[in-house]
């Protein structure tokens, strides 16, 4: 069962293969990487947060929207990088 906070967008990027434990077994829908973890680790994977104990997603688009919870320092998300079409 997904957690109650259904507004957690990170879950749209993973498929829960086994939710029977606290650390769910997840499969990334973008790159196919399978790992154990919770929402914070999903964000760690998608955003490449190094201290989450999960490898970074190689397929996560730049605009992946995984709204950080309180405590995250993300200022001016719509900053001056409009129209970066480099890839
Ligand atoms: Zn991935």
Kindly give the distance from the C-alpha atom of residue 51 to the centroid of ligand 1, in angstroms, as a whole number. 16
Assign residue 48 a region: left if phi > 0, alpha if psi is -120 to 50, beta otherwise?
left
Kindly give the distance from the C-alpha atom of residue 79 to the centroid of ligand 1, in angstroms, as a whole number. 25
Kindly give the distance from the C-alpha atom of residue 80 to the centroid of ligand 1, in angstroms, as a whole number. 26
Average pLDDT over residues 57-86: 58
CA distance 19 to 63: 27
Strand, coil or helix: what is 54? Answer: coil
**Tens of pLDDT along 3-44?**
555 567 889 999 999 999 889 999 999 999 999 999 999 999
Residue of 72 and 13 predicted with greater confidence: 13
Kindly give the distance from the C-alpha atom of residue 28 to the centroid of ligand 1, in angstroms, as a whole number. 5
Q: How far is CA 60 from CA 14, 22, 26, 50, in A?
A: 11, 25, 15, 15
Residue of 85 and 51 predicted with greater confidence: 51
pLDDT for residue 20: 94
pLDDT for residue 37: 93
Kindly give the distance from the C-alpha atom of residue 33 to the centroid of ligand 1, in angstroms, as a whole number. 5
Which residues contact residue 12 at a Cβ distance below 8 angstroms, ignoring those fewer than 6 apart? 29
């Amino acid at each position: 069962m997904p957690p109650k906070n259904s507004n957690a967008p990170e879950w749209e990027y993973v498929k829960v293969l086994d939710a029977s434990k606290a650390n769910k077994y997840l499969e990334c829908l973008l790159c196919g990487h399978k790992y154990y973890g919770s929402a914070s680790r999903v964000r760690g994977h998608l955003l490449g947060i190094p201290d989450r104990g999960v490898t970074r997603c190689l397929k996560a688009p730049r605009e992946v929207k995984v709204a950080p919870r309180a405590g995250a320092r993300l200022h001016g998300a719509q900053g001056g990088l409009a129209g970066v079409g480099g890839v």
